[in-house]
Amino acid sequence: MRIFTNNAFYLFGINDFIYHIYVKKGDVNVMKDIYPVLAPQLASILQLVQADILGAVTEIRIRTLKPLMLVLGNEDIMLSAAGQVTKSSHEAYLCTEDDLLKTLQLICKNSRYAVEEELRLGFITIKGGHRVGLCGQIALEQSRIKTFKHISGMNIRLAREVKGCSQKVLSYLFENNQIVSTLIISPPRCGKTTLLRDIIRNISKGIECLGVKGLQVGIVDERSEVAACQNGVPTVDLGPRVDVLDACPKASGMLMLIRSMGPEVLATDELGRQEDAIAVQEALHAGVSVIATVHGKDEKEIKERPYIGDLVKNHYFQRYIILDNTPKVGTVRRISSGTGKVLYCL
């Protein structure tokens, strides 16, 4: 596997819009956010894992009575109780129900009431912006998901800040020195949020090489992933001109920010619902540029989707950035204008 053979360093560089991943020995700082939320048994196993492996982890998979698994890019490995990589599921450490329960307790600080909305959506965002996806048996109330009765699986997706990953995209986001509304489109795990975060950081700081001064940016961070807020304060570097509405529904949050904070740019993650589309329209009519992300293949596919499709059909966005994960996560496949003109193609 390339990430193991390459022991240079962990670096997200940009070479023709491909963020190359190299593994740096000991670059495991991100795990400091993860150990405190893992059940003691799981945390002690992970602490025994080699640093170069930990540096390349993108996901930690925990399933009841199944091997403890680490995902490294497009590959996964199983761990033994001694923290060694193993190919045999007999030698692997089998996660127990207790491991999952204790991990959930640690994630929600023994307070399910504090994360009831997140539980309904099926994931909780923890310190550092890492997303913990949950799976198990659902409890319904009047055909609506109420909560999880039992948790049988967890996927901890590590969020890594990649400063500079938007560098070459930035020049496409301006027309006559004015920022244009942009939609970042890709399937899950292709680096949408990472790219959005870096775009925000650059816009907020100002881009000297393009002669653009810093702009006031408002972020509606419904899932606490973009700004990774703790007690409402961002824990990642987003530059000096950012206001964050944390854990706030996108639609009402965008309108709140326009009224209260007067942003020049609004940024939000994962549009989807009808009210999101209405709020984007409101923001654009109010003269505020919007930078958002959405799950999908490309703008043609998005066009067929309800609500968000209308935004594409009516040319509300002036740029579409299409990402995918081949050959690497974060590859910019294409950049198009709102009228369909291709500005960049890999």
- Whose Cβ is closer to another protein: residue 100's or residue 183's? 100
* Positions 127 through 146 that interact with another protein (CB under 8 A): 146
| One of 8, 87, 88, 113 touching another protein (CB under 8 A) | 113
* CA atoms of 299 and 271, how far apart (whole Å): 13
Q: Is-contact 168 198, C-beta < 8 A?
A: no
Per CB under 8 A, does 149 bind another protein?
A: no
Tell me the C-alpha to C-alpha distance, in Å, between residue 4 and each of 91, 298, 346.
22, 33, 27
* CA atoms of 64 and 135, how far apart (whole Å): 10
* Positions 63 through 102 that interact with another protein (CB under 8 A): 102
For CA atoms 47, 53, 57, 61, the dihedral sign is negative
H helix intervals, 219-272: 250-261
Smallest separation (angstroms) from another protein to the CB of 118? 11
* Positions 185 through 244 that interact with another protein (CB under 8 A): none
* CA atoms of 198 and 165, how far apart (whole Å): 7
Smallest separation (angstroms) from another protein to the CB of 79? 20
| One of 20, 109, 297, 300 touching another protein (CB under 8 A) | 109
Per CB under 8 A, does 248 bind another protein?
A: no
Smallest separation (angstroms) from another protein to the CB of 103? 8
H helix intervals, the chain: 2-5, 31-34, 40-47, 51-54, 97-107, 116-121, 192-205, 250-261, 274-285, 299-303, 308-313
- Whose Cβ is closer to another protein: residue 76's or residue 117's? 117
| One of 31, 39, 244, 267 touching another protein (CB under 8 A) | 39
Residues that bind another protein (CB under 8 A): 36, 39-40, 102, 105-106, 108-114, 116, 146-147
